[in-house]
Amino acid sequence: MFNLNTIVAAVIIFGLLVFVHELGHFLVARWVGIKVLEFAMGFGKVLFGWEKEGTRYTLRLFPLGGFCRMLGEDPDDSYKEGSFQNKPVRSRFAVIAAGSLMNFLLAAVLFSLVYFLFLGVPQTQSTQIGQVLEDSRAYEVGIKEGDVIAAINGNEVDDWDSVVSKIHASPEEEIVLLVSRNNEQFTVPVIPREEGGRGFIGIAPVYEKYALFSSIYLGFTYTWLFIKLIFVSLYQMITGAIPADVAGPVGIVAVVGEVAQEGLGNLFSLAAIISVNLGIINLLPIPALDGSRLVFLAIEWVRGKPIDPQKEGFIHFIGFTVLILLMILIAFQDISRLML
């Protein structure tokens, strides 16, 4: 089902996302004076580790995960100096929120690298073709990189969105492209391949690499756009406006394997999108996730006193159990889809 390259790419991506998330917790905890007992990458048996300034750093057997264990997470240690529970609400809130914020920052950095070093940004204001996929319908009829699409079925097109919408609207139906090449125009009939109810002929727009500061600006801009897009999609799934389509680790690994074959730039883009998703999911008010801990801290701030640690721990335990069962169900669905 998965080859070695897929597994290696998935481990690197998941490892990077988890490392950055836990690093956010770690850095802010150290900054506000909370003692970090262990910073671990992976779960299970410790492969090797070392200790520095009271913190144990470990690499564990199973690479898909990690944790930052702080003093005071055990209620019996809450009275000790440097304990998480002894710090003001605002400090604890910052520590918990830092994981997701670091995932958003990582996404912005990855997007910036994509625009600066790899793919660049699609020039959608033009109808010039930047890439023709081999063995695609466009490749079969002789369309080449650098061609400009002037019209489709006699209707002029002046931007890439117009080209895409007209091709998508004609799956398995012949369309006629008016193509400009070397100051000459000619028509090319082509039948878009149907996929998911839409037509595709296997072309991509021209991509332009940006200067460093422009790339950084776009990196943060696209990260913010994806954050808004994911929240809107979650709302639409909850309200039933769109069908719920959730992929678990198995499904994501399969996608990583496919994208890894398309180049490092596409893999960075996918990692950025997954990082945004991870950051948002951890902020949801679901027991056992960072979002629920932020809710409890907000309640403590309003009440002026914390909720009973045993009650909070029980709620997190129930939430963790439900999450594990949900992950098993999603993994089963992922495997079922892959086996079809």
Q: What is the CATH number of the domain that holds 188?
A: 2.30.42.10
Here the tokens at position 140 are 């079969």
174 is catalytic: no
256 or 8: whose pLDDT is higher?
A: 8
The pLDDT of residue 327 is above 70? no
pLDDT of residue 262: 55
3-state secondary structure at position 29: helix
Comparison of pLDDT for 2 and 78, the residue scoring more: 78
- Beta-carbon contacts of 93 under 8 Å, excluding residues fewer than 6 positions away, are 294, 297, 298
Calpha distance 157→179 (Å, rounded): 11
- Would you state the structure tokens that stand for residue 11, as one six-digit string? 């481990």
Do 131 and 112 belong to one domain? Answer: no
Picking from 184, 207, 230, the residue at the C-terminal end of a domain is 207
Top-confidence residue, 45 or 247:
45
Name the residue range of residue 132's domain.
Answer: 122-207
In-domain check, residue 13: yes
Q: How confident is the model at residue 251 (pLDDT cuts 50, 70, 90)?
A: very low
Query: How many percent of the chain have pLDDT more than 90?
Result: 38
Asked if residue 82 is part of any domain, the answer here is yes
Query: Is the pLDDT reported for residue 118 higher than 90?
Result: no
Task: Say how far apart CA 6 and CA 251 lie, in whole Å.
Answer: 12
Categorize the per-residue pLDDT at 338 as very low, low, confident or very high, splitting at 50, 70 and 90.
Answer: very low
Residue range 207-243, pLDDT digits in tens:
877 778 888 888 899 899 888 887 877 777 677 665 5
User: Of 207, 235, 263, which residue is a domain's last?
Assistant: 207
* pLDDT (average), residues 287-297: 87
From the list 62, 57, 70, 67, the residue with the least C-alpha distance to 45 is 62
Residue 38 buriedness (CB in 10 A; 0-12 / 13-18 / 19+): middle
| Greater model confidence, 7 or 96 | 96
Residue 276: burial class (beta carbons within 10 Å; 0-12, 13-18, 19+): buried
55 touches 36 (CB < 8 A): yes
pLDDT band for 337, please (50, 70, 90 cuts).
very low
The single residue of 22, 51, 140, 262 carrying the catalytic annotation is 22
pTM: 0.69
Residues counted in the chain = 340
Looking at residues 200-211, what average pLDDT do you find?
85
Q: Is 227 among the domain residues? A: no
Q: How many domains does the chain have?
A: 2
Q: Name which of 74, 70, 48 is nearest 60 in CA terms.
A: 48
Distance, in Å, from the CA atom of 114 to the CA atom of 215, rounded to the nearest integer, reads 8
In a domain, 306, yes or no: yes
What does the pLDDT read at residue 98? 96
CA 32 vs. chain centroid, Å, equals: 29
Strands (E), the chain: 36-52, 55-70, 121-122, 129-132, 148-152, 155-156, 175-181, 184-190, 193-195, 198-200, 203-205, 207-208
pLDDT at 274: 84
The predicted-structure confidence for 77-92, as pLDDT tens digits, reads as follows 777 888 988 899 999 9
- Please give the pLDDT value at position 123: 79
Task: Give the per-residue pLDDT at 260.
Answer: 46
Q: How confident is the model at residue 330 (pLDDT cuts 50, 70, 90)?
A: very low
| Dist. CA 162–CA 105, nearest whole Å | 33
330 occurs within a structural domain? yes
In a domain? residue 12 = yes
Residue 214 belongs to some domain of the structure: no
- pLDDT (average), residues 249-257: 47
Mean pLDDT, to the nearest integer, of 40-48? Answer: 88
